[in-house]
Amino acid sequence: MGPYGASTFSLEVFDGFVHVEVANFLRCEGLSCRSEVFEIVEGGVADRTHRRPGVSRWDPLVLTTATEASVFLLEWRDRHMRGGFGERVRTSGNVALRGPDGCVLRRWHFLSAWPVAWSGPILDSMTSQIAVERLELHHDGLRVTDR
């Protein structure tokens, strides 16, 4: 099988024991992580340094979607903002890559996500661009699954 296109994908969040598709996206950034690398110089070893892994950090997911009738994303952000420190509920879910027939080809499962930023569309009647919204999610890790 050849490489997958990246043109159709959705956000799914967990509601109890099932995941519910809440939006289709135009763009997704942040399916990545990085680890710090510590270099240790050892006395008497002049030709190299020793490298050891440090703390790993997950990049935030930044999702861009066309503005539609559903206000789920904004309501999710609002619920999180209104909740007290101990009341803020984190949600797990997936970014799902879909094939031309709509079947899921791959999922990136994120853990304990919370919305840290939302921005609405730029409204400009002088252009013909579609109205888009942007949601930034921080989370506690990603894992890749096939379907």
- In this predicted structure, the answer to whether residue 132 has a pLDDT above a threshold of 90 is no
Residue 98 burial (CB count, 10 A): 19
> What per-residue confidence (pLDDT) applies to 120?
84
> Who has greater pLDDT, 12 or 15?
12
pLDDT at residue 72, as a whole number: 76
Extract the tokens encoding 143.
Answer: 């894992």
DSSP letter string, 13-69: EEETTEEEEEEEESEEE---EEEEEEEEPPTT--S--EEEEEEEEEPPEEEEEE--S
Residue 138 has pLDDT above 90, yes or no: yes
Of all residues in the chain, the percent with pLDDT exceeding 90 is: 28
Please tell me whether residue 138 adopts helix, strand or coil conformation: strand
The pLDDT confidence band at residue 60, using thresholds 50, 70 and 90, is very high
Q: State the pLDDT at residue 35.
A: 93
Q: Average of pLDDT values for 120-130?
A: 85
What's the token pair of residue 22?
């809440």
Domains of the chain from N-terminus onward: 9-145 (2.30.110)
Q: What is the pLDDT of residue 142?
A: 92
The pLDDT tens digits for 70-102 are 777 778 788 777 766 666 677 889 999 888 888
| Residue 110 pLDDT level (bands cut at 50, 70, 90) | very high
pLDDT of residue 62: 95
Mean pLDDT lowest among 1-5, 87-91, 103-107, 134-138: 1-5
